[in-house]
Structure 1
Amino acid sequence: MFPEPVHYQRNDSPGWNIQDWDTANKLLSYFDPQRWPFATFTLPDNSYVQCLGGKRRLTVEAREYRPDGTFTHWVFGRGMPLSEPVRIEVSTGGVTIDVTQQLTMRDARVIVKQFLETRTFPDTYHRDDVTERFTSQQNG
């Protein structure tokens, strides 16, 4: 059982609540860049972790909300960004990320599981703080 409620959502559904890692892991196994190219797991304070792409090429992001309503938005990668863009295309569009942020489903499972169970992230992945991308949109 997760320590707090988790809401799962994908591109074709408003989602539903899940209670444990076995369920979340099974839902991630359905990941498909043509049919279900993204998954979001949201906690009660609206903090979330999400992935977009396919099982062999995807990106993982998380947003952590603080009690005052501010947040930090992270993109995960293997090491510091190299300023080498790659594009992940899916049926709903695509996203350009740094080559170091191109992960696999195995990586996503490690990140998602730890976040949903402990609200922390594995130290084995670099977290790139991209909060400014979202706060500048709100202010401008």
Structure 2
Amino acid sequence: MTGFASYLTGEFYSVLSNHSLLGKGLPENPPTDIEAFNKGVIEGQTGQLTNRIFLAWSHRLFSNLTEAQIPDYLSGFLIGYELKNLTSKKVYLVGGQALCERYQLACEKLSISAEIVSGNQCFFSGYH
């Protein structure tokens, strides 16, 4: 291992989607939309965060995305933004399965090699 990074991306997503203008009036459990997620991943690659995050609102306002697509777009955007400064082209993802799968999708979209690794396996390997 040459580096380790952890982020509050999930917490930030929760704040934005539950306590901000961006999340106001969104459906509670919309179906997963990979296309919206991928759009967010790509759009998260440029600009300043607080300026670019406004795209979630403008896409909704101008009907580029439906309200049901915004949660996946926002998730993809934040994950994509997190990955934009990555210097390695190979990463290991440690965490919950569903979240790691989202990161793996984002990595694939950005041509980053990603492998999901069990948190328990990492703990036991480190312990030994």
| TM-score where L is the length of structure 2 | 0.30
Between Structure 1 and Structure 2, the one with more strand by share is 1
| TM-score where L is the length of structure 1 | 0.28
Between Structure 1 and Structure 2, the one with more helix by share is 2
Max radius of gyration: which structure? Answer: 2
